[in-house]
Amino acid sequence: MNPLSDSFKTVTSLFRTPPKQIGLPPGTLIHVGTREMEHPVISRTDFSPAAYHHRSDISLDDCRPAAPAEGVCWIHLDGLHDVALVNELCNLVHLHPLAQEDILNTHHTPKYEEYSDTILIILKLFEMDADQLHIRKEQFSLVLSAGHLLSFREQSDDLFKVVMQRLAGKNGRFRERGADYLAYALMDTVFDSYYHVLETIGERLDLIEAELINRPSRDLLQQIHQVRGQLSFVRKAVSPLFDLTRTLIHSESSLIDERTRIYLRDLHDHIHHILDNIDNYRDTAKGLIELSLSSMSHRTNEVMQVLTIIASIFIPLTFIAGVYGMNFEVMPELEWRLGYPFALLLMAACATGMLWYFKRKNWF
């Protein structure tokens, strides 16, 4: 099995998008992606300045009661393969079918879309396997409406555990905010996860650089190319967020409170910083590729230098052996008793003299 070919397949698979059926009318709800969970799991969190109530693994009927007065209802779904369930949840806030279609397409690029009484935000989540140097991507969608926030993920983990703890806290001001601030908090958590991925990639580049100086090899060059491919993959998913957050800041939608916009500007700064980090790591990877090629070329030159010196030493020795190996009858040294030691001594003198000359010229 060719490891370079396997690396190429790994990198190119990051950018490949599964095809969608051709000819379907707009708004046709079809799940595009991989089924990550056996059964979808719904959770509901109702909160207001004076109350907090969280329920996990509930039914669709438990999602229908209205949000608490002067409070927010946050409904979260893990697992997108159940198209009918996603449709029912989206209908709770009267989300447009085109937006529902985007939620179900787990390979959709990040986007921001405003409708009459709802806002759709699509982001990408990343999880880095430091050992295998593999990035797993996941789609995360938010639907913001008056008093409601719907969120959709492909699978479940503890990414938003801190947000839940902040909501449950009695002394915090989180519950005094609206659904728009909760959406900001979730987006901020997603953006923070990007830093962890980039930190892992940065540590990997440092290890490659240290090993590259001591032992350049094709395997390290392959790893650098793989890291560059993953950085390009992350940048492709993060770069749309720069315009997304800027549009969100300047949105005139009544669903976004003026007090939340200052926090959204902080999100915009985070994305700017993340993009700068990605570009810096890409430049570092490019420099490591050049260093790797230069080191391998230098190593090849050293080997060729040694072989050239050996060949140069053996050229006069071969000449001497060839002269005394000629089958002529009239050669005085052939009948000389010290002829053989003389020939060996002459070869040794030639080899020593050439080594001294090469050393004096600093050729090795």
Number of domains in the chain: 2
**pLDDT computed for residue 265 by the predictor:** 94
Say if residue 162 is in the same domain as residue 257: yes
Mean pLDDT, rounded, for 223-242? 91
Residue with tokens 């397409």: 105
Give residue-wise pLDDT tens across range 100-159: 999 999 988 999 999 989 999 999 998 887 666 688 889 999 999 998 999 999 888 888
Say if residue 178 is in the same domain as residue 46: yes
Of residues 190 and 213, more confidently modeled? 190
Residue 5 belongs to a domain: no
Single pTM value for the model = 0.79
Say if residue 280 is in the same domain as residue 316: no
- Among 238, 269, 294, residue at a domain's last position: 294
Runs of H (alpha helix) within the chain? 3-15, 83-91, 97-104, 161-168, 179-214, 218-249, 258-324, 339-360
Say if residue 283 is in the same domain as residue 261: yes
CATH number, domain of 337, equals 1.20.58.340
Structure token pair of residue 221? 């060059």
Residue 267 belongs to a domain: yes
Say if residue 290 is in the same domain as residue 306: no
Say if residue 225 is in the same domain as residue 309: no
CB-based contacts of 232: which residues, under 8 Å, 6+ apart? Answer: 282
pLDDT band at 2 (very low <50, low <70, confident <90, very high): very low
**pLDDT computed for residue 122 by the predictor:** 95
Q: 82: left (phi > 0), else alpha (psi -120 to 50), else beta?
A: beta
DSSP 205-247: HHHHHHHHHH---HHHHHHHHHHHHHHHHHHHHHHHHHHHHHH
Say if residue 303 is in the same domain as residue 216: no
CA dist 224 and 286 (Å) reads 8
User: Domain of 52?
Assistant: 29-294
Residue with tokens 């053989």: 340
Q: What is the total residue count of the chain?
A: 364
Residue 218 belongs to a domain: yes
pLDDT at 70 over 60: yes
Say if residue 200 is in the same domain as residue 247: yes
Say if residue 223 is in the same domain as residue 340: no
pLDDT band at 22 (very low <50, low <70, confident <90, very high): low
Say if residue 285 is in the same domain as residue 315: no
Say if residue 253 is in the same domain as residue 237: yes
- Strands across the sheet containing 148-153: 51-58, 41-48, 72-78, 148-153, 134-145, 118-129, 111-114
Give residue-wise pLDDT tens across range 74-89: 999 999 989 999 999 9
